[in-house]
Every structure is written in structure tokens, then in C-alpha cells.
With several copies, the nearest count.
Chain A
Amino acid sequence: MVLIADDADAAVNGIEDGSTVLIGGFGRAGLPWDLIDALGRLGARDLTIVNNNAGNGATGLAALLHAGLVRKVICSYPRQVDSYVFEDLYRAGEIELEVVPQGTLAERLRAAGAGIGGFYTPTGVGTTLAEGKESRSIDGREFILEYPLHGDVALIGAHVGDSAGNLVYRKTARNFGPIMAAAAALTIAQVVNIVAPGDLDPEAVVTPGIYVDRLVVAGPAPAVEEL
């Protein structure tokens, strides 16, 4: 059964210290900014955050980092023009970083949702990111073994949801939402609006309701920060 939360604070209620939190979005597209801010207000600590990046500017994910709530970031691309909050913490040794190639990050999330115990990928073979990883030659090509990446919680931004939890996305805001929703024990989605079951085309549903636990209608998106 899907919980329709009154607001983002109610939606993130109960997220515990020490959780691994999968956070969707690539840039601003699909970023669940309302849920991220609520997570900051909730104040759960010692979090492991999985996102493609490590926060920008001073708001959103960067604010969680700045508030000292995050122990570790697992991402593909922490270095951006305005990722100074992460960079300062990282250089000060106050935050852990696991850099994962973007496709491997996606596939590890997908494996977690799909019950795959591990998989062999050609990505990263011969690089420092393969160091310490098991490798194997299959059909004459070298692969490295990667493991699933499970979340205790996923916070994702979708476009429209129905009250059964089915979701559709909008353009490139789809990005990590569908695979994070399936990879987490508790999936919380912010949407622009919620419709009745039957109002979404069952052929076009991207995330079926089985992967969604809580829905909330997000407030208006914040303005783009000056860079």
C-alpha cells in the first residue's frame, strides 16, 4: 500500500541514522529537492549517500554534507564547478568517497533491484578503479566483478504518480529514478501531481507501484542558484 504523505517532512519520517540513501537526479533533472531538504530537517546522521554527483552550491545535497549528516558518498562524478562543500570536506578527510563509473553505478543499482548477486563488467578493466577487484576472462575478454548496491531508502523525483505508486518521469529527469526505486527497501517519490489508478497508461508506466512506498506532491521547484 502506498502512503500519500501530506508533505515532504511526513514523507521522510523514520529514516534512521546510518542509512544508505539513494538519491535520484542528474544535475537538477529528477533531483528530489523537496525530500532532500526534509531529510536535512529530519537530521538523520551517519548517512551513506548514493547519487551521480556529490552536491552543488550550498543547497540540496550539499547542505546535507555541510550539516555533517553524511559519512560517505558513493558517486561517479564528485568534481563539479561548484562542488566546493564536498571538496572542502574531502580534502579535510571528513567524508569518505567511493567513485564508481556511472554505468557500473547504474548496473549495481539495477542488480540490487533485480536480485542479481554480482556481475562481470568490462568497464574499468586496466584502471585504478579495478584495483582490488576480482577479474576474469570470459570469451577472451577481461571483465571485473561488481556487486549490487542496495539502499535502505531511495528518494526520487518523478513527474506524475498514481495512488497505486505507478510513476512516469519527464525527459532526462528519468535517469536514476527507476533503478533506485527498485534497489531500496523504502522508496519515497516526490511528484508534480498524483492521479487515480487507471489515469496512467499501463504501457507507459516506467516504475510500477510495487517499487514505491510513499508519494508526496512537491512544492514549486527552487530557483536556479547563481553559480
Chain B
Amino acid sequence: MTTTTTETVENLNRGPIDRVEMARLAAHDILPGSFVNLGIGLPTLVADHLTPGSGIVLHTENGLLGMGPVARGDQIDPDLINAGKIPVTELPGAAYLHQADSFAVIRGGHLDVCILGAFQVSERGDLANWHTGAVDAIPAVGGAMDLAAGAKSVHVMMTLFHDDNTPKLVPTCTYPLTGRGCVSRVYTDHGTFQVGPNGVTALETFGSTVEELSERVGINIVRLSNSV
């Protein structure tokens, strides 16, 4: 679609990156002035890496635009929490919203970026992050499906492999879906990828070549080409 002259960067003189570096990369890609929702878990780390003065506004779906950092000490107020039920703060210019208004922000397509954790992401951008599908698991979705369906861009932050070394980036999700074809970018410890109708493209890798990751993940990961 757009023409780009960027090539995939392979960082081979180092190992996989840690969660802090993943958060820094995810934060770096958010444009100044964006409205952003950070999911529970790994994505909350992204908040620590947003540039002050960038005008990025954080939304938490339990009803706040303009969320500030996690509350400490005297700042802790039981009436001011984030979607993970952690006490947070409000920034100047904040606004409180009830649940219908807060999810209207999400479903109405007003969030520029949402960053979510995931169990699996398919090469076409399907997302599975709410249910392992285990028979005795208690299903619990929260706002994940609304965010998947509503945000202009859905980015995922996750380790590339489960603890048992099976990949989370998959040809087809085997876990129950949160949303179809909604994810556009995936930040992992082994690399950053674009996913979507054209499959998986590596933007940057850490500790492996694109071909090595392709083989280990078991799907065809392509490089950025000079002119797409």
C-alpha cells in the first residue's frame, strides 16, 4: 500500500529482549497526541516509557480519560483505580465517564491505539486472549472484546513462546477468539511483527534471523521489502 524504504533490522549480537525493552519499543511507536488504552498485565509497563509532553492520553475502561501513574502512599484513593483494580492517579485535563460512555469511546473507534496481552495471535491478526478453552476454566472476558473490536490499532505485547516452547504466533488460533483480524502489530521478546491479511512481516528481530524465527515458530515470516 504505502511505499517504504525501511528494511527489517536483525539484532544478532544479542539475545531476546526483556519486558522493559518490549514496553519501550511499544511506547516508541505511539504517535504524540494519541489516545491509548493499555491492557492488564504486560501492557501496563508501556506507561512508564511514554515521553512526558508527548500529549498521549491514557484511557482506562472503568471510566477515566487522562489516567496518570500508579498511585503511591498518600495518593492511594479507593475510588480511583484502573481496569486492573490498581490505584492510579488522574492528570490535569482528565475526565470521568460512566461505563456506557467509556465503552462508547472504545467501540466508537476513538482510541488510536490499544495494547493488549495475548495467549495467541494468528498470522492474519486474529486475537485470543480471554479464555484458554480448558473445559473447567471460568470464562472471563472483561473489556477485551470491546477493545479488540473498537480501537483503531490493536497492538499485542507478549512473549513469543509459551513456557512449554510452543509459539503464541500461530497459523490459526486454537484458543477461543477475542476478535477476528484485529491485531496489526505484535511486540515480543524475539522480535516485532506486523500481522494481517498479508501474513507476518518481521520489523525487527532480537537474537535470531528472520529465517530462524520462521522455522522455530513454524509459519512463514517475511522481511520488509524495499518497496511494498
Contacts and interface: CB of A to CB of B under 8 A. Distances in A.
A99 to B, nearest CB: 5
Interface stretch (A8-16, A62-70, A172-180): A172-180
Interface residues of B, number: 60
Interface centre among A80, A99, A172 (most CB of B within 10 A): A172
B65 A210 contact: yes
B99 A176 contact: yes
B44 to A, nearest CB: 16
A106 B106 CA distance: 12
Given A91-B136, A172-B79, A209 B93 contact: yes
Contacts of A26: 62-63, 81, 85, 99
A115 B108 contact: yes
Contacts of A28: 78, 81, 85
Interface string A174-207: 1111110010000000000000111000110110
Interface stretch (A37-45, A71-79, A132-140): A71-79
Nearest to A27: B85
Contact of A182 (B59, B110, B150): B110
A107 B103 contact: yes
A182 B108 contact: yes
Interface residues of A, number: 71
A107 B95 CA distance: 20
B180 interface: yes
B145 A124 contact: yes
B39 to A, nearest CB: 12
B38 interface: no
A123 B146 CA distance: 5
Nearest to B31: A1
B32 interface: yes
Contacts of B91: 197
Nearest to B126: A126
A172 B98 contact: no
Contacts of A103: 61, 99, 103, 106-107, 143, 145-146, 150
Contact of B100 (A121, A124, A127, A179): A179
A210 B93 CA distance: 11
Interface in B68-123: 77-82, 85, 90-100, 102-110
Contacts of A30: 79
Contacts of A104: 145-146
A59 interface: no
Interface centre among B32, B82, B108, B176 (most CB of A within 10 A): B108
A206 B96 CA distance: 9
Contacts of B126: 126
Interface string A158-182: 0000111010011111111111001
Interface of B: 32-33, 35, 55, 57, 59-66, 77-82, 85, 90-100, 102-110, 126, 131, 136-146, 149-150, 176-180
30 contacts: A1-B32, A76-B143, A86-B138, A99-B140, A102-B61, A102-B142, A115-B106, A125-B179, A127-B180, A128-B131, A128-B176, A128-B177, A162-B93, A164-B92, A169-B96, A170-B79, A171-B90, A174-B98, A176-B98, A179-B100, A197-B92, A197-B93, A202-B93, A205-B95, A205-B96, A206-B98, A208-B65, A208-B95, A208-B105, A209-B57
Given A26-B63, A174-B98, 5 more contacts: A29-B79, A102-B61, A114-B103, A129-B145, A203-B96
Instruction: Report, nearest first, the 4 A-B pairs whose CB atoms are least far apart.
Output: A197-B93, A198-B92, A103-B103, A115-B107
